[in-house]
Each structure stands twice: as structure tokens, then as C-alpha cells.
Amino acid sequence: MRYLLIIASALFAFGATMTFESTEANAVVCAKGVYRAGCAGARGAVVVRKPAVVCRTVVVNGVRVRRCT
């Protein structure tokens, strides 16, 4: 009798969880490669070229520093 109650409660719990509707996942995954960067999502994917690197020399505390963005 005890095992029957355990099995019945397990089936009831499983049935209760199946009645709830799950929401859609809208995750987006992006990656940055050596030559290109790209993102993939639920509605498709896109690949773009990386912009050119711009470097400039600035003076910080009397020292010349090269900054690249």
C-alpha cells in the first residue's frame, strides 16, 4: 500500500508539471573570431567583418602610451 501511494504521488507530480506551459527561449549566442564576428539567435544568424583597429599615441604621466581600440 505504501509503494502504491508513492507511485501515485509521483505520477500526480509528473502530471502537474506537464500541465504548465513552457515559454520560448530567446537566447542569442555571439562569437568573435580572428577575421569576423557573428551572432546566432532564434530568428537567424548574422556575420559581420570586424572594424579596422585604430591606434593612437597619448601621453600618460609623462610617458608615451600606444592605445588601440
The tally of domains found in the chain comes to 1
Query: Please, what's the largest Cα pairwise distance for the chain?
Result: 85
| Distances, alpha carbon 53 to alpha carbons 30, 38, 58, 61, 67, in Å | 20, 18, 16, 25, 10
**What is the pTM for the complete model shown?**
0.32
Residues spanned by the domain of 22: 2-68
pLDDT tens for the chain, residues 1 to 69: 788 888 888 888 887 776 766 666 666 777 777 677 788 877 788 877 767 678 899 999 999 999 887
Distance separating alpha carbons of residues 60 and 54, to the nearest angstrom: 18
